[in-house]
Amino acid sequence: MSEIQLPKLNKLGVKNAIVISLGVDDELIKKQKLINEYFVSAGMDKGRNFEFIKNEMKYSPLKILDGNPFMPYKEYLKILAGAKAIILNIDIVKLNASDLSGTTTCFEALLLKKPIFINYQLWLKELLKDNYYVYENGEELRKLLNKNIKFKERDYEYLTLKYFTQKLMQEINKTFIKL
C-alpha cells in the first residue's frame, strides 16, 4: 500500500488504514547470479505500456516479460538478474490498471541491483529512494540509457518480505494491545 491510496480509501469509508509497503522474497533474489546482458521490461498488470518499450528499444537487446507465457517465479528472477537495467513505461489510465503498477517489479530490480528507468509515477519518491531514473519520452529514455548509469549500493531491506512481515506484525500487536 502507499500513501497515494489513502484518499481513495477515505472516499470508500475506510478510516484507519495503515500504510505498509509490500515486500519481495529477498532469499530467492540473493540466489540469483547477476549479469548484465540485456534490458528487461516486466509486469503482468494492465498498466504496462510494452508497445512504447518495444518501439523505443528496437535496436537494443530487450526481453519483455508480460506473463505470457507464464513462467515460474525463479525463472522470472533469473531473467531479471541478467538485465543491465529494468525499463518500465506505465499508463495507469488504462482500464483496470493499478495505481501502484510497477512497484513489485521495481522492488525486485532494486534488490537485484538493477537501475530502473521509468516514466513518472506518483509513488516513486515515497516507495523508492534511489537508483531510478525518470523519463518523459523516448528521446529522454535513450539519453539516459546512453549515460551508462551504474547501480548505487543502498540498503533496501525495507523492500523485503521479512521487513513487510515485521511491520505487519507490529501493527497487529498494537491493535491487540488496544483491545
Query: C-alpha grid cell for residue 61?
Result: 537487446
Contact 135, 141 (CB under 8 A): yes
Give me the tens of pLDDT residue by residue for the chain, a chain 179 residues long.
556 666 776 787 877 776 666 788 889 999 999 999 999 999 988 889 999 999 999 999 999 999 888 899 999 999 999 999 999 999 988 767 788 889 999 999 999 999 999 999 988 988 898 999 999 999 999 999 999 898 999 999 999 989 988 988 888 888 777 66
Which residues neighbour 112 within 8 Å (Cβ) at sequence distance 6 or greater? 29, 32, 34, 77, 80, 81, 83
Nearest C-alpha neighbor of 82 from the set 52, 55, 62, 98: 62
In a domain, 145, yes or no: yes
Average predicted confidence (pLDDT) for the chain:
88
* Domain span holding position 129: 23-163
In a domain, 178, yes or no: no
Q: What is the DSSP letter of 151?
A: P
In a domain, 117, yes or no: yes
In a domain, 176, yes or no: no
pLDDT for 20: 67
Measured distance CA(15)–CA(169) in Å, rounded: 20
Nearest C-alpha neighbor of 53 from the set 72, 38, 71: 38
In a domain, 60, yes or no: yes
In a domain, 27, yes or no: yes
Measured distance CA(38)–CA(124) in Å, rounded: 24
Q: What is the DSSP letter of 30?
A: H
Burial class (CB in 10 A: 0-12, 13-18, 19+), 28: middle
In a domain, 35, yes or no: yes
Contact 114, 128 (CB under 8 A): no
pLDDT for 93: 82
Number of domains in the chain: 1
CATH number at residue 68: 3.40.50.2000
In a domain, 150, yes or no: yes
